[in-house]
Amino acid sequence: MKKVLIVVAAFLLTLVVGTGVVFAQAIDSQKVVEVKKDEVVSHDYFASGDEVKISGKVDGDAFVFAQKIIIDGEVNGDLIAAGGEILIPGKVDHDARLAASKISLSGTVDGNVTAGTGEFTFDRNGRIGNNLILGTKDVSLQGYIGKDLSAWANKITVNNNVGGTIKVAATDLTLDPGARVAGDVIYWASNNLTVNLGSDIKGQIVKHEIKNTDKVNKNLEKTLAGTVFALKVFGFVFYLLLGLLVIKLLPVFSYQVSDFINKKAVKSFLIGILMLFVVPLLFVILLLTIVGIPFAFIFLLFSILIFCTSKIFIALAIGNFLEGKFKLNNSNYLKFAGGLIIITLISAIPIIGGVFSLITFFVGIGAYVSTLFALHKSLLAKKLI
């Protein structure tokens, strides 16, 4: 178990530091960021802001996160974009992976397009060289699709070439006169496919009926309930093993944190609440400078580690409290296991469990951070760091 945790931690740290270095080499975070028409970016491009516009050429992959994204130039690689609105009248030479409230494609993507959006517009001049995988609400696909179409939507209308198979789940599926489907049309829908005069389907039409909705919903509820229960069991076992390992490796520190909880629970809670605001603020401040970007992600990783492991010290604190109350004499391992069982049982109580979990979460974080600061201060005083 110890070796596994070390390998995972090393991998995450390598990933975070590597990402930070790449971001440090090329990133913009202004309100309006633009690659001008005659400009060529000869490496992978990272940009964020209120608006990002690529009118020139990116000779690599583009990673863009903004409220409004416009690609009217060329990305000679993959495009990974997320934001409020994405407009692509230009060209993407490889794949595009998109997530936004609105997406409009009137240009060309030579590879695959994977998109999740509330509103998808695929213009008649738009062209996708390979596959389109789409999740949206209502959509009219007027552009060219070189290979397969896979979609989930309420209403889907196809009015251009699909060079492969159509596989969709929708309430209504319509093929307009301009539709040309080279393969099969396979669909899951409550209504029959509407094939308008002038459309052409080379393959077969296969409809999968949606029946026994109530039964499906009941089975789904049972499946979800079973999944939730399995996740809770897995979570308990995970925290049990992780807690035993932490107590084994850091017995003194574990005792100090749990003791702080029992002695200064209110202070711990207030510090935990404060950390809820401090962590995002410091993360954003570090991101504002290129030098600070790698440290921002290391700081974020360290904060997540604290958030995830604070439950361990709450469980140990409860075990220590009960030992003192009932004058028991158990090992730290048994005290922790007992405390974890109590936390799990209380957390399962409706409403009360949610409030309890929230309070103990903040208390654990506050005590954790306070003990770390005390340890740092002690090491400074002893001139060990």
* 257-290: b (≥16 Cβ within 10 Å) or e: bbbbbeebbeebbebbeebeeebeebbeebbeee
Q: Judge if 200 and 222 occupy the same domain.
A: no
Q: Judge if 224 and 241 occupy the same domain.
A: yes
Q: Judge if 190 and 257 occupy the same domain.
A: no
Q: For residue 245, is it within any domain?
A: yes
127, pLDDT greater than 80: yes
Q: Averaged over 135-149, what is the pLDDT?
A: 92
pLDDT of residue 217: 58
pLDDT of residue 302: 82
Average pLDDT over all residues of the chain: 82
pLDDT of residue 219: 63
Q: What does the alpha-carbon distance between residue 251 and residue 16 come to, in Å, rounded to a whole number?
A: 29
pLDDT of residue 5: 37
Q: Averaged over 65-75, what is the pLDDT?
A: 91
Q: For residue 13, is it within any domain?
A: no
CB 294 within 8 Å of CB 221: no
Q: Averaged over 99-116, what is the pLDDT?
A: 92
User: pLDDT tens, 156-189?
Assistant: 999 999 999 999 988 889 999 999 999 999 998 7
pLDDT of residue 296: 78
Q: Judge if 369 and 233 occupy the same domain.
A: yes
How much is the CA Rg of the chain, to the nearest whole Å? 27
Q: Judge if 203 and 299 occupy the same domain.
A: no
Q: Averaged over 70-85, what is the pLDDT?
A: 91
Q: Judge if 184 and 251 occupy the same domain.
A: no
Q: Binning pLDDT at 50, 70 and 90, where does residue 290 land? A: low
CB 296 within 8 Å of CB 287: yes
CB 261 within 8 Å of CB 364: yes
pLDDT of residue 6: 35
Question: Among 20-24, 215-219, 271-275, 376-380, which range has the highest average pLDDT?
Answer: 271-275
pLDDT of residue 124: 93
Q: Which of 269, 302, 310, 272 is nearest to 286 (CA)?
A: 302
Boundaries of domain holding 112: 30-211
368, pLDDT greater than 60: yes
Domain stops at, among 182, 211, 240? 211
1, pLDDT greater than 50: no
* 331-346: b (≥16 Cβ within 10 Å) or e: ebeebbbbbbeebbee
Q: Averaged over 69-88, what is the pLDDT?
A: 92
pLDDT of residue 163: 95
Of 330 and 147, the one with more pLDDT? 147
Q: Judge if 199 and 159 occupy the same domain.
A: yes
Q: Judge if 278 and 158 occupy the same domain.
A: no
CB 192 within 8 Å of CB 174: no
Using alpha carbons only, give the angle 143, 147, 149 rounded to the nearest 5 degrees. 70
Q: Judge if 356 and 223 occupy the same domain.
A: yes
Domain stops at, among 211, 242, 261? 211
Q: Which of 54-58, 81-85, 120-124, 160-164 has the lowest mean pLDDT?
A: 81-85
Q: Judge if 260 and 156 occupy the same domain.
A: no
User: pLDDT tens, 306-362?
Assistant: 888 888 999 999 988 888 777 767 788 888 888 888 888 888 888 888 888 899 889
Domain stops at, among 211, 230, 261? 211
Report the domain count for the chain.
Answer: 2
pLDDT of residue 198: 87
Q: Binning pLDDT at 50, 70 and 90, where does residue 289 land? A: low
Expressed in angstroms, the distance from the first to the final Cα of the chain is: 30
pLDDT of residue 227: 72
Give me the torsion for CA of 74, 68, 276, 305, rounded to 10°: -20
Q: Judge if 129 and 193 occupy the same domain.
A: yes
User: pLDDT tens, 193-227?
Assistant: 888 888 899 999 998 876 555 555 566 666 667 77
Q: What does the alpha-carbon distance between residue 320 and residue 330 come to, in Å, rounded to a whole number?
A: 9
Q: For residue 5, is it within any domain?
A: no
